């Protein structure tokens, strides 16, 4: 049977219209339905006990709530408590990955109980960055608004905790799915829906200049991370085909424009790949770009992907690159990806599952 449309992608007016189509006009019914789904996170109409049984039956015959089902989860054994999960989209059985990341342990040894979720925005990706597992299988399709939100509901159920921070850094280019991303951001930030503050949301882009312009005008003050990974056009184009569509001469002015309207500092993500972008010339150009944008830099030593030729630089090369930035006054963090042991780099779990499908949808830990 075809998957029924999910209510997770609907705002209040759309929920009211869905109820009106079933002959239910009273606005308090919309409030009740909204409260069950968005405040209580109830995903089964039968449990909505203050709705009349007949309305519950009608809703269940026309709509679903969860648009996806978690089919695998892998918890890191490394102490980071990172949990990567694979979900099957009920609409067409496609697979996507999401990563739950608990807060780091603080200086005093306390673990804050804030939870971050890394969300996928597409099935696969059309952008084909040469170092990325998601790009290897190409783009299947963009996720619907309900599927973007469904990852949050699934994560909360796995973590038994509300998600506090969202990073759109999973599979896909979020700004290439801007038509579904913007309604999702409205639902996520609306106090009567998910109520996650915009400052707790980071959108990561590979440099989609057109989408950036639309994100800027939507009025939701999210944070921005840019996957730069090369500080000159020749290096960037070598590993990120998007640079041929929007080279640095277009991307950097767009980011300056973003910075002028945003109160948050831009983060430049820079994966260090041995012999590709880890030389002193690249660090010098990166210093200039970061200065121009008043940005901070997040350096990430490359996480090896099966079947790809790239390697992580030696540790002293990474440290030298980082010190070069710091010596020039650029705020710089150095991050090893959490969950190394669970294929935390985006797209690896899905790719493995596609090439050797599991016999059942049993959750493995
Ligand atoms: S790094 Fe991001 S934009 Fe590039 S191929 Fe991977 S998912 Fe797509």
pLDDT classification of 103: cutoffs 50, 70, 90:
confident
Q: What is the pLDDT of residue 335?
A: 75
Q: What is the pLDDT of residue 5?
A: 96
Q: Do domains 7-62 and 68-355 have the same CATH topology?
A: no
Q: What is the pLDDT of residue 363?
A: 29
Residue 64 per-residue DSSP state: B
Q: Are 281 and 265 in contact (CB under 8 A)?
A: no
Model confidence at 282: pLDDT above 60 = yes
Ligand 1 atom nearest 171 alpha carbon? 7
Q: What is the pLDDT of residue 288?
A: 98
Average pLDDT over residues 179-203: 97
Q: What is the pLDDT of residue 199?
A: 96
Verify whether ligand 1 is closer than 6 Å to residue 125 (CB atom). Answer: yes
Q: Report the separation in Å between the CA atom of 196 and the middle of ligand 1, taken as the mean of its atom positions.
A: 25
Q: Report the separation in Å between the CA atom of 133 and the middle of ligand 1, taken as the mean of its atom positions.
A: 8
Choose the residue to mutate in 202, 346, 349, 351 for probing ligand 1, maximizing ligand atoms within 8 Å of C-beta: 346
- List, for residues 1-32, the tens digit of each pLDDT value: 678 999 999 999 999 999 999 999 899 999 99
364 closest CA partner among 353, 181, 355, 280: 353
- List, for residues 228-280, the tens digit of each pLDDT value: 999 999 999 999 999 999 999 999 999 999 999 998 999 999 999 999 999 99
Q: State the Cα–Cα distance between residues 132 and 213, nearest whole angstrom.
A: 25
Q: What is the pLDDT of residue 360?
A: 33
Residue bearing the bigger pLDDT, 364 or 117: 117
Choose the residue to mutate in 126, 128, 143 for probing ligand 1, maximizing ligand atoms within 8 Å of C-beta: 128
> Which residues contact residue 233 at a Cβ distance below 8 angstroms, ignoring those fewer than 6 apart?
243, 247, 248, 249
Q: Report the separation in Å between the CA atom of 243 and the middle of ligand 1, taken as the mean of its atom positions.
A: 12
Q: Report the separation in Å between the CA atom of 171 and the middle of ligand 1, taken as the mean of its atom positions.
A: 7
Q: What is the pLDDT of residue 134?
A: 83
Q: What is the pLDDT of residue 350?
A: 61
Q: State the Cα–Cα distance between residues 137 and 124, nearest whole angstrom.
A: 6
Considering the domain 7-62, what is its CATH architecture? Orthogonal Bundle (1.10)
Catalytic hit among 118, 125, 129, 346: 346
The matching CATH number, chosen from 3.20.20.70, 1.10.1060.10, 3.40.50.300, 3.20.20.140, for 68-355 is 3.20.20.70
Average confidence score pLDDT of the chain: 90
Q: What is the pLDDT of residue 111?
A: 54
Choose the residue to mutate in 206, 237, 345, 346 for probing ligand 1, maximizing ligand atoms within 8 Å of C-beta: 206
The verdict on whether 97 is a catalytic residue reads yes
Least confident of 57-66, 175-184, 327-336, 337-346: 337-346
Radius of gyration of the chain (CA): 21
Verify whether ligand 1 is closer than 6 Å to residue 129 (CB atom). Answer: yes
Q: State the Cα–Cα distance between residues 285 and 255, nearest whole angstrom.
A: 16
Q: Degrees (nearest 5) of the Cα angle 13, 19, 21?
A: 105
Q: State the Cα–Cα distance between residues 229 and 41, nearest whole angstrom.
A: 38
Domain positions in the chain? 7-62, 68-355
Verify whether ligand 1 is closer than 6 Å to residue 302 (CB atom). Answer: no
Q: Whole-prediction pTM value? A: 0.91
């Amino acid at each position: 049977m075809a998957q029924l449309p999910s209510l997770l992608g609907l705002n209040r007016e759309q929920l009211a219209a869905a109820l009106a189509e079933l002959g239910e006009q009273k606005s308090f019914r919309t409030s009740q339905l909204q409260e069950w789904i968005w405040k209580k996170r109830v995903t089964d109409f039968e449990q909505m006990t203050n709705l009349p049984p007949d309305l519950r039956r009608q809703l269940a015959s026309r709509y679903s709530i969860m648009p996806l089902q978690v089919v695998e989860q892998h918890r890191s054994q490394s102490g980071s408590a990172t949990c990567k999960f694979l979900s099957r989209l009920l609409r067409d059985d496609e697979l996507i990955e999401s990563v739950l990341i608990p807060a780091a342990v603080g200086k005093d040894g306390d673990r804050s109980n804030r939870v971050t979720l890394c969300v996928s925005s597409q099935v696969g990706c059309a952008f084909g960055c040469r170092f990325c597992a998601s790009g290897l299988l190409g783009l299947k399709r963009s996720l619907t608004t309900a599927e973007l939100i469904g990852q949050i509901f699934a994560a909360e159920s796995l973590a038994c905790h509300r998600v506090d921070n969202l990073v759109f850094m999973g599979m896909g280019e979020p700004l290439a799915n801007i038509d579904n991303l913007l309604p999702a951001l409205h639902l996520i930030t609306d106090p009567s829906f998910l109520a996650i503050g915009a400052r707790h949301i980071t959108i990561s882009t590979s440099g989609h200049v057109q989408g950036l312009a639309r994100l800027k005008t939507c009025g939701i003050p999210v944070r921005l991370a840019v996957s730069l990974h090369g500080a000159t056009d020749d290096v960037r184009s070598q590993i990120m085909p998007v640079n041929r569509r929007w080279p640095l001469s277009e991307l950097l002015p767009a980011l300056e424009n973003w910075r002028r309207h945003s109160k948050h500092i831009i983060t430049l993500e820079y994966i260090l790949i041995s012999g590709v972008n880890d030389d002193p010339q690249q660090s010098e150009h990166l210093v200039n770009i970061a200065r121009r944008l008043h940005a901070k830099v997040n350096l990430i030593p490359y996480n090896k992907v099966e079947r790809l030729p790239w390697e992580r630089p030696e540790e002293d090369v990474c440290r030298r690159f980082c010190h070069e930035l710091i010596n020039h006054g650029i705020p710089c963090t150095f991050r090893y990806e959490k969950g190394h042991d669970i294929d935390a780099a985006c797209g690896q779990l899905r790719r493995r599952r596609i090439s050797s499908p599991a016999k059942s949808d049993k959750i493995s830990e």
